[in-house]
Amino acid sequence: MKYSRKFGTVVGASVGVLVAIGATVAACGGGETAATTATSSGSGTTTGETSGTGGAAATSSSGSGMGGTMGTGGATSGTGGAAATSSSTGGMPQPTYDCSPPVGPIPALKLTQIASGLARPVLVKGAPDDDSRIYVLGQKGQIWIIKDGAVLPTPFLDISAVVHQPSAGDERGLLGLAFHPKYAQNGRFFLYYTDILASPGDQHLVEYQRSANDPNVADPKEVQTLFVEPDAESNHNGGMIEFGPTDGYLYVGMGDGGGAGDQHGAFGNSQNLAQRWGKILRLDVDSATKPYGIPAGNITMVPPKDPGDPTHDGNPSDPTKVNGEIWDFGLRNPWRYSFDLCTHDLYIGDVGQGLYEEIDIEPAGKGGRNYGWRLTEGTHDYKVENYSKTGITAPVFDYVHKKPAELPGTQGRCSIAGGYVYRGSAIPGLRGTYLFGDYCSSEIWTYTHSSPPVTSFKDGSASPLMIPGGLVLTSFGQDNLGEVYVTAVDGKVYRIDAQ
Ligand SMILES: [Ca+2]
Ligand SMILES: [Ca+2]
């Protein structure tokens, strides 16, 4: 079955003109583009910082094919089975996401613009128990609400006064938003941002609160700071935060801190268990311990290691130095990850160095994993040296970078933007399928996880569905209904629809 050769035409019809975006590109995922080097503070663009496909935006071309490949989809293994769930507010059941198996093949897809004019949107979310609002996170410090199909004129929150104001190709700013599972009752939400105080800016995990009087606005006053992580490099800042769907703990994605090749320390940050960088942390924000507690089940100690093993803090006989906040490690920049609403599996899009972009899929609740960086990039060795690769969990999937000339009409492939498993009702054939994309090419792919997992980008179950020329894709999003969204650096937000 073929997909999406018509995409450009259809997009033109439903979206209007897709403009070329010039050089205003935010390399949000930390793909090593030229855009990255344009930012401040000497974040070493040394070894391995290859490609330099120039964060320049995709050049116009409103889509006619553009080497658009075929999907051979229809492959839906369907993780469903669980009954469609419903939430309730005030005793009134509300429709929500759909865990039933897919029905029919994946249809050709299109992007429908739902908002524009927002400053660098980088995430779309719903809040628990409220299907009436969609929240859009802006990298410059705003959060907007889309309600009844329109962006409310007053932002939900604007903390641009304390957030680093990103320039072109800048990975810093307001990067993450997570609503407490009981947000409907307690109004608590959490943000991750790079501060404006000094360059390159430190990373803050903070809590805010909905206004007591108006659910469409937040109290502008920070409730508390959970942590401030000093940062020496402008790139690889992570920033995705998300509450675990079953444990209610706050998961915090941390990049390797930055600099090419995870160059800091004897063996980099990501394999250093004394560090936050290069990890997914897991915190208990409901603990009696303030500002957060350490939940049971995180990495608590390192068993004795051979002298060459990098997964210690330099003193393998002393596990007391292990940071108890760690859930997973060995990540480079998990710019975007998500939990499948139905299976609760964790899908991580980990941005690669100069060659490979990867997806890691973690079965629900199975943390404690080493995803390999900097020993490995994707399924390939990066800097193994004399260390042991024992215990590394390989990605389920990786793809190789391309130069612009290899993918005409785009800026090549350079940096993965992890997305979401579709669990909506509008596109029954898409249920259970993961959507993700690439920042440089703006390709959007589907991936249906199956066993054995596919390990090649060429595999038929993971195929490009769209190549929206001119759209510089920063991230994805998902609402409470399980529908999936795309954000673009030019300020537009799109919903993924069937053609
Ligand atoms: Ca950094
Ligand atoms: Ca990896």
Q: What is the CATH number of the domain that holds 343?
A: 2.120.10.30
**% residues pLDDT > 90 (the chain):** 63
The H-or-E segment that residue 13 falls in is: helix 7-15
Distance CA 307, CA 267 (A): 13
Query: Model confidence over 404-452: pLDDT tens digits?
Result: 999 888 889 999 999 999 999 999 999 999 999 999 999 898 888 765 5
- Mean residue pLDDT of the chain comes to 79
Distance CA 412, CA 357 (A): 13
Q: Which ligand is nearest to the CA of 236?
A: 1
Spacing, Cα 93 to ligand 1 middle (Å): 43
Q: Which of 46-50, 197-201, 221-225, 289-293 has the least mean pLDDT?
A: 46-50
Q: Residue 315: what pLDDT? A: 37
- Quickly tell me which residue has 């800016």 as its tokens: 201
Q: Residue 311: what pLDDT? A: 53
Q: Which ligand is nearest to the CA of 171?
A: 1
How many domains are contained in the chain? 1
The H-or-E segment that residue 228 falls in is: strand 218-229
Is residue 59 very low, low, confident or very high in pLDDT (cuts 50, 70, 90)? Answer: very low
Q: Residue 92: what pLDDT? A: 46
- Domain containing 383 equals 7-498
Query: Model confidence over 86-118: pLDDT tens digits?
Result: 343 444 444 489 999 999 988 888 999 999 999
Q: Residue 303: what pLDDT? A: 47
* Cβ-based neighbour number of residue 383 at 10 Å: 19
Question: Which tokens in the block code for residue 123?
Answer: 């995430």
Choose among 358, 423, 410: nearest CA to 97.
Answer: 423
In a domain, 474, yes or no: yes
In a domain, 111, yes or no: yes
Residue type, 340: D
Instruction: Kindly state the DSSP code that residue 404 receives in the 8-state scheme.
Output: G
Among the residues of 258-397, which ranges form H helices?
none
Q: What is the pTM of this model?
A: 0.81
Tell me the three state secondary structure of residue 37: helix
Give me Rg for the CA atoms of the chain.
21
Tell me the three state secondary structure of residue 471: coil
Res 64 pLDDT > 70: no
Q: Residue 302: what pLDDT? A: 54
- Quickly tell me which residue has 């004019």 as its tokens: 117
Distance CA 471, CA 21 (A): 7
Q: Residue 453: what pLDDT? A: 53
Q: Which residues surround ligand 1, an ion (CB under 5 A)?
A: 231, 233, 237, 257-258
Sort strands 326-329 and 336-339 into parallel, antiparallel or unpaired.
Answer: unpaired
Q: Which residues surround ligand 2, an ion (CB under 5 A)?
A: 371-372
Q: Which ligand is nearest to the CA of 362?
A: 2
Spacing, Cα 29 to ligand 2 middle (Å): 15
Instruction: Kindly state the DSSP code that residue 370 receives in the 8-state scheme.
Output: B
Q: Are 253 and 372 a contacting pair, CB within 8 Å?
A: no
In a domain, 419, yes or no: yes
Spacing, Cα 241 to ligand 1 middle (Å): 16
Is residue 352 very low, low, confident or very high in pLDDT (cuts 50, 70, 90)? Answer: very high
| Average pLDDT estimate for 478-494 | 96
Q: Residue 391: what pLDDT? A: 84
Spacing, Cα 485 to ligand 2 middle (Å): 26
Q: Residue 140: what pLDDT? A: 98
Which of 147 and 19 is assigned the larger pLDDT?
Answer: 147
Query: Model confidence over 295-346: pLDDT tens digits?
Result: 999 987 654 455 455 554 443 334 567 899 999 999 999 999 999 999 999 9
In a domain, 248, yes or no: yes
Distance CA 248, CA 300 (A): 19
Query: Model confidence over 174-227: pLDDT tens digits?
Result: 999 999 999 999 999 999 999 999 999 999 999 999 999 999 999 999 999 999
Query: Model confidence over 354-398: pLDDT tens digits?
Result: 999 999 999 999 999 999 999 999 999 999 887 778 889 999 889
Residue type, 363: P
Point out which residues pair with 208 in neighbouring strands. Answer: 189
CB-based burial label for 246 (10 Å; 0-12, 13-18, 19+): exposed
Spacing, Cα 201 to ligand 1 middle (Å): 8
In a domain, 1, yes or no: no
Q: Which ligand is nearest to the CA of 350?
A: 2
Q: Which ligand is nearest to the CA of 356?
A: 2
Whether residue 413 is preceded by a cis peptide bond, meaning omega within 30 degrees of 0, is no
In a domain, 2, yes or no: no
- Quickly tell me which residue has 């960088």 as its tokens: 277
| Average pLDDT estimate for 66-94 | 34
Q: Residue 449: what pLDDT? A: 75
Distance CA 32, CA 356 (A): 11
Spacing, Cα 20 to ligand 2 middle (Å): 33
Q: Residue 54: what pLDDT? A: 29
Res 81 pLDDT > 90: no
What is the DSSP code string of 375-431? TEETTEESS-TT---TTBPPPSEEEE-B-GGGSTTTT-B--EEEEEE---SS-GGGT
Whether residue 200 is preceded by a cis peptide bond, meaning omega within 30 degrees of 0, is yes
